[in-house]
Structure 1
Amino acid sequence: MSGKINVMIVDDSAAARRALSDLLAEDPGIRIAALAADPFEAAGKLSGGLPDVILLDLELPRMDGLTFLAKIMKQHPMPVVICSSHTENGSKAAMRALEIGACEVIGKPKLGSAAARQEAQIRLSDAVRAAAQAGRGRGLGNPARKKPLPKPAPFSPGPKLTADAILPPPRPQAPFPNGLPPIVAIGASTGGTEALSEVLPKLSRVTPPVVIVQHMPEKFTAAFAKRLDGLCQVAVREAANGDKALAGTVLIAPGDHHLLLRRQGQGYRVEIQNGPYVARHRPSVDVLFRSTAIAAGPGALGVLLTGMGDDGARGLLEMRDVGADTVVQDEKTSVVWGMPGEARRLGAASREKPLSAIPAEISAFAARSAPA
């Protein structure tokens, strides 16, 4: 067995297979184990040995990707990353794929410039690594690999920027006006779509405004928000620039854009920005949390859920340093305990809670913040 993460790519486009292979080949911790043009060819190659991760297109000949994914999860459960087109139909199918059991969803890479190629490489590599780690946590994957995958070799295509690239850090002892309304800021990545689907439906209509960064591609967050809106008492939608953050409303950062919270009178609005990747992500949780620390200070609750990497950990510490309440999801209930684990290591978390207790934490925060 290779010490690298072995990946099978299933896509009917030869050009797409080649592009995805070239991008992943630049990561020293990843190996292309097999290529397939459709599910039947993939099934034949799977019979000769299982990869650690499957990178799967959804629009395939002879059998659609969702049907093939369902068969994989029934017969040989393993980590699957969906690589789908940036369309409304593609977004809806991707949401269904997450429900069936896919670990991650990414958009088809755009390679029109050197910067776009670098961003695509980061997204693709991080998604494969996150899926492999999530699979190990769930007991999924290749049973022939008797030991856990070794830690992949360091991989850093370009500088890893901090939130300084988007906005300056909070000023020490910044004054905050009395009576600012409470607000909840949540960050999540791998496993976060499932986690948010458990947390948000349990919130009441009188919940303080909630702003969320969930690492997802462009176009996919609108479908995700619409799906959640049908499950929740609170109103859930993809954030638009200038939206007011209102009680009983959840605003989710649009894919491929940063979400910042701004103070507006005695309330808040959101600002949507492009800009570079921060902590290898756009949207970045660090950017949301820093802006929340600046805008709301002690009037905020920061919640960091499951996810690979460290995005959000430093931002949560900045929130705690200005007096905000902070909570992280515990290791046992996290699909990947990267982001919340790093926050705990930094001392950013006031406490750790299982996912099932997060709605109660938000409700308790709302009760503490309510006017006398």
Structure 2
Amino acid sequence: MPGKTRVLIVDDSASIRQTLTMLLSEDPEIEVIGTAADPFQAARRISEEVPDVITLDVEMPHMDGITFLRKLMSQHPIPVVMCSSLTESGSETLMQALEAGAIDVILKPKIGAADHLAESAERVRAVVKAAAKARLGKLRRFRPAEAPQAKLTADAVLPPPKIGAMAKTTEMVACIGASTGGTEALRELLEALPANAPGMLIVQHMPEKFTAAFAKRLNGLCEVEVKEAEDGDPVLRGHVLIAPGDKHMLLERRGARYHVSIRSGPLVSRHRPSVDVLFRSAARAAGSNAMGVIMTGMGDDGARGMEEMHQAGAFTVAQDEATSVVFGMPKEAIARGGVDRIVPLEQIAREILAADKRH
């Protein structure tokens, strides 16, 4: 049996250090080996015992988290999960953290709010264990935790699709799902696409507010137009819509035109937004007019939805193990038999363009 995931918590707030220690220690697969109030204490602790994962605050005295992260990645790479409060300015900083090599982002749990704390615990533990499995060499810049509630499927948001023939439209819609390691993988994918690429919808597991900064960052790098999705946005050629954090995104059809619906609702496959919800809606609304892509990430979100897309006639692609930071979501989708092609990250853009041409 593999050993426990050993975690070092770095945060200048004693209450946050205590809360994170409590949340993580409740998982029998995780061991908190220590805490540190600033990067200098953290460096001394690392010299004594190297953790499997570090949770790192963004704003700290003596040295900010981004500077410490860059030093760590250049001298002694360790999977790092950035921890931040929910602020617009913080979301911009966290984009820098992801560029510097952070594996993922978590929100600081709200102390004293029992419901939020339970939901925080679920995500925090899952992200930490996913980070421990991450292969840092796959970053382009250099068993899930027990939940306090049942793991819901897309049935909780919309009913299963009715599988059958659907008239082709003049446009293809590409639906993409990603999680751990996905921020940089999506950047590489979108940078490879021309301005007239087919309309795309993306679910990247990311907290509320951070998705807006993520979309803005990508929009400045890519030829396609990228924005955080809003309810009713049309799906247009050359445009990419990213599901807002803490909201589900669904594809809907009016005649031959598509738009998105942004909804609240329960966690599905332990996520909101959920890839399963997007993929199921694509199976229902687009059928063979859609293409599904599942990329690097921990867990099985998207596997059921991709199978439904496949059964509805959509062309489906999974990122291969060799280029995935975490080969969880693609592996589960492949195992369910819903994947047509398995390709490396650098080939996904070509697959999208080829499918668009065939369509």
Q: 1:117 to 1:180 in 2, by over 3 A?
A: farther
SS of residue matched to 1:47: helix
Which amino acid letter does the alignment assign opposite residue 316 of structure 2?
Answer: T
User: 226, 230, 248: which one pairs with 1:236?
Assistant: 226
Q: Determine the structure 2 residue equivalent to 1:161.
A: 152
Q: 1:305 to 1:293 in 2, by over 3 A?
A: same
Residue 178 (structure 1) shift: 3.9
Residue 115 (structure 1) shift: 2.9
Which amino acid letter does the alignment assign opposite residue 19 of structure 1?
Answer: T
Q: Determine the structure 1 residue equivalent to 2:25.
A: 25
Distance (whole Å) between structure 1 residues aligned to residue 351 and residue 186 of structure 2: 14
Distance (whole Å) between structure 2 residues aligned to residue 134 and residue 219 of structure 1: 24
SS of residue matched to 1:327: strand
Distance (whole Å) between structure 2 residues aligned to residue 18 and residue 230 of structure 1: 39
Q: Determine the structure 1 residue equivalent to 2:258.
A: 268
Residue 42 (structure 1) shift: 1.0
Distance (whole Å) between structure 2 residues aligned to residue 254 and residue 116 of structure 1: 19
Distance (whole Å) between structure 1 residues aligned to residue 326 and residue 312 of structure 2: 28
TM-score normalized by the length of structure 2: 0.95
Distance (whole Å) between structure 2 residues aligned to residue 253 and residue 63 of structure 1: 33
Q: Check whether the contact 2:136–2:325 (CA below 8 A) recurs between aligned residues.
A: no
Residue 113 (structure 1) shift: 3.9
2:239 paired with 1:249: yes
SS of residue matched to 2:286: helix
User: 150, 171, 193: which one pairs with 2:162?
Assistant: 171
User: 190, 197, 206: which one pairs with 1:200?
Assistant: 190
Where does structure 1 lack aligned partners over 5 or more consecutive residues?
Answer: 140-151
Distance (whole Å) between structure 2 residues aligned to residue 36 and residue 330 of structure 1: 37
| Alpha-carbon RMSD | 1.7
Q: 1:138 to 1:225 in 2, by over 3 A?
A: closer
Residue 71 (structure 1) shift: 1.2
Aligned length: 355
Task: Please list the CA deviations of residues 177-209 of structure 1 after superposition, one character each: whole Å capped at 9, or x if unmatched.
Answer: 343521000000011111111010111122111
Q: Check whether the contact 2:224–2:240 (CA below 8 A) recurs between aligned residues.
A: yes
Q: Determine the structure 2 residue equivalent to 1:148.
A: none
TM-score normalized by the length of structure 1: 0.92
Q: Check whether the contact 1:6–1:30 (CA below 8 A) recurs between aligned residues.
A: yes
Residue 3 (structure 1) shift: 2.0
Q: Determine the structure 1 residue equivalent to 2:107.
A: 107
Q: Determine the structure 1 residue equivalent to 2:340.
A: 350
Q: Check whether the contact 2:122–2:146 (CA below 8 A) recurs between aligned residues.
A: no
Task: Please list the CA deviations of residues 164-186 of structure 1 after superposition, one character each: whole Å capped at 9, or x if unmatched.
Answer: 0110010132x523435210000
Q: Check whether the contact 2:98–2:104 (CA below 8 A) recurs between aligned residues.
A: yes
Which amino acid letter does the alignment assign opposite residue 171 of structure 1?
Answer: K
SS of residue matched to 2:106: strand
Q: Which shows bigger deviation, 108-117 or 39-48?
A: 108-117
Q: Determine the structure 1 residue equivalent to 2:277.
A: 287
2:178 paired with 1:188: yes
2:121 paired with 1:121: yes
Task: Please list the CA deviations of residues 262-315 of structure 1 after superposition, one character each: whole Å capped at 9, or x if unmatched.
Answer: 112211111111111111111100000000110100000000011111100110
Residue 41 (structure 1) shift: 1.1
SS of residue matched to 2:175: strand
Q: Determine the structure 2 residue equivalent to 1:63.
A: 63
SS of residue matched to 2:124: helix
Residue 87 (structure 1) shift: 1.3
Where does structure 2 lack aligned partners over 5 or more consecutive residues?
Answer: none
Residue 135 (structure 1) shift: 4.1
Residue 368 (structure 1) shift: 1.2
- Give the percent of matched residue pairs that are identical in Structure 1 and Structure 2: 57
User: 239, 243, 249: which one pairs with 1:259?
Assistant: 249
Q: 1:180 to 1:116 in 2, by over 3 A?
A: farther
Q: Check whether the contact 1:109–1:120 (CA below 8 A) recurs between aligned residues.
A: yes
2:123 paired with 1:130: no
Task: Please list the CA deviations of residues 242-280 of structure 1 after superposition, one character each: whole Å capped at 9, or x if unmatched.
Answer: 111111100000111111111122111111111111111
Which amino acid letter does the alignment assign opposite residue 50 of structure 1?
Answer: V
Distance (whole Å) between structure 2 residues aligned to residue 110 and residue 218 of structure 1: 14
Residue 27 (structure 1) shift: 1.1
Distance (whole Å) between structure 1 residues aligned to residue 207 and residue 296 of structure 2: 17
Q: Check whether the contact 1:38–1:62 (CA below 8 A) recurs between aligned residues.
A: yes
SS of residue matched to 2:134: helix
Residue 112 (structure 1) shift: 5.5
2:347 paired with 1:362: no
Which amino acid letter does the alignment assign opposite residue 131 of structure 1?
Answer: A
Distance (whole Å) between structure 2 residues aligned to residue 111 and residue 167 of structure 1: 33
Distance (whole Å) between structure 2 residues aligned to residue 324 and residue 11 of structure 1: 46
User: 302, 316, 330: which one pairs with 1:326?
Assistant: 316
